[in-house]
Amino acid sequence: MNEIIGLIFIAIGLVFDFFGCLGLVRLPDIYNRLHSSIKCVTLGTSSILLGLLLYKGFSPTGVKALLCIIFLFLTAPVSAHVLARSAHKSGVKLWDKSVCDKYAEDKK
Amino acid sequence: MKTKIILFITAFLVWILLSWSFQPMHLIIGVIVGILVSVTTSDMFVKEPKIFRNTKRYLWLLYYIPVFIWECVKANIDAALRLVHPDLPINPGIVKVKTTLKSDAGLVFLANSLTLKPGTMTVDIDKENGFLYIHWSDVKSQDIEEATRLVVHKFERILKRIFE
């Protein structure tokens, strides 16, 4: 039973990872692409790891997967923040139809 | 001394989860490495040991985790629906919001939670004045107060009780 639930979680994770990659193709600028890639890939990969935990049970492999989920949730948003900040500092423009850019206004 | 003990317990827990074997040899290696790490680097990680004694903070942390996971799942469904929509309904922009959190750990958790929340991503933090710059993929309000109420308020209320 646990194995079936684990496989379902892995399938859900693969779907979300696919949406993250689709966002890289469809969205217009780096900031929007980071949105889709970080959100979908964090939850998708965590879902795959959770599926592995259910599939393997509390064995050394499964517990390492649990630890990986925690580290992923702590570090993936930091990498998104660093990429967005460095892109903005090195002068990458927002999309033409963006509404406002308070960060650029404050930096002047 | 307190900071060393806290860091030792944390390091030893991570070691047990990583090795997940309870033979004496593994446990002894874990104790030795944990003591080395905590003696050399304790003053870098734990700033205020007294907040670890408060039991209420752990209960609020337990309440925060399901709220956060629910927001994260909502964010993913929201992002996926926007992506498969033929017109690509996004309305992006960088807005400025206020925060009243002061501690480093609180700000890190707030920024991380906002990045995984529906439609928002932290671009920069101005720690001295307490401002966050948020890239919002569907801007509803450019006003600071209104944006703060819509974006930050929900998590800030819980994180304030955990980390402040």
Q: What are the distances in angstroms from CA B53 to CA B13, B81, B103, B108?
A: 18, 44, 17, 21
Q: Alpha-carbon Rg of chain A, whole angstroms? A: 18
| A81 touching B (Cβ < 8 Å) | yes
pLDDT computed for residue A4 by the predictor? 92
- Say yes or no: B124 and B44 in one domain: no
pLDDT computed for residue B161 by the predictor? 85
Find tokens 């700000």 and name the residue. B107
The mean pLDDT value of chain A amounts to 87
Q: Binning pLDDT at 50, 70 and 90, where does residue A48 land? A: very high
- Say yes or no: B125 and B107 in one domain: yes
> Domain end: B12, B36, B51, which one?
B51
Q: How far apart are CA A99 and CA B139, in angstroms?
A: 7
Interface test with B, best of A50, A103, A107, A108 (most B CBs within 10 A): A103
CB B122 within 8 A of CB B133: yes
Q: How far apart are CA B5 and CA A34, in angstroms?
A: 39
CB contacts, 8 Å: B86 with chain A? none
- Say yes or no: B8 and B63 in one domain: no
- Say yes or no: B32 and B89 in one domain: no
Sign of CA dihedral B146, A42, B137, A15: negative
- Say yes or no: B87 and B137 in one domain: yes
CB contacts, 8 Å: B135 with chain A? 31, 35, 84
Residue B97 belongs to what H/E stretch? strand B93-98
B window 24-83, beta carbon within 8 A of A:
72-73, 75-76, 79-80, 83
- Say yes or no: B100 and B148 in one domain: yes
List the end-to-end C-alpha distance of chain A, in Å, as a whole number: 60
Of A13-22, A88-97, B27-36, the poorest mean pLDDT is in A88-97
Q: Binning pLDDT at 50, 70 and 90, where does residue B159 land? A: confident
Q: How far apart are CA A105 and CA B38, in angstroms?
A: 44
Structure tokens at B86: 């033929």
Neighbours of B160 (CB within 10 A): 17
Per-residue pLDDT tens over the stretch B20-41: 888 889 899 999 999 998 888 8
- Say yes or no: B72 and B37 in one domain: no
Q: Binning pLDDT at 50, 70 and 90, where does residue A47 land? A: very high
Find tokens 């469809």 and name the residue. A26
Report the chain A residue with the minimal C-alpha distance to residue B21.
Answer: A60
pLDDT computed for residue B3 by the predictor? 83
- Say yes or no: B77 and B15 in one domain: no
- Say yes or no: B61 and B16 in one domain: no
pLDDT computed for residue A11 by the predictor? 94
Report the chain B residue with the minimal C-alpha distance to residue A37.
Answer: B79
- Say yes or no: B43 and B87 in one domain: no
Structure tokens at B25: 């040899």
Is the pLDDT confidence value at B46 over 80? no
- Say yes or no: B58 and B117 in one domain: yes
Q: What are phi and psi of A101, to 5 degrees?
A: -140, 80
Percent of chain A at pLDDT > 70 equals 99
Q: How far apart are CA B100 and CA B77, in angstroms?
A: 30
pLDDT computed for residue B101 by the predictor? 83
Residue A73 belongs to what H/E stretch? helix A60-89
- Say yes or no: B62 and B129 in one domain: yes
∠B131-A27-B82 over CA atoms, to 5°?
A: 85
**For the stretch A20-42, what's the b/e string if a residue is b when 16 or more beta carbons lie within 10 angstroms of its beta carbon?**
bebbeeebebbbbbbbbbbbbbb
Q: Binning pLDDT at 50, 70 and 90, where does residue B162 land? A: confident
List the end-to-end C-alpha distance of chain B, in Å, as a whole number: 22
Side chain identity at B32, as an amino acid letter? I
Q: Binning pLDDT at 50, 70 and 90, where does residue B97 land? A: confident
> Domain range holding B105?
54-163
pLDDT computed for residue B18 by the predictor? 87
Residue B94 pairs with which residues in a beta bridge?
A: A101, B135
Residue B125 belongs to what H/E stretch? strand B120-126
ipTM over the 0.95 cut-off: no
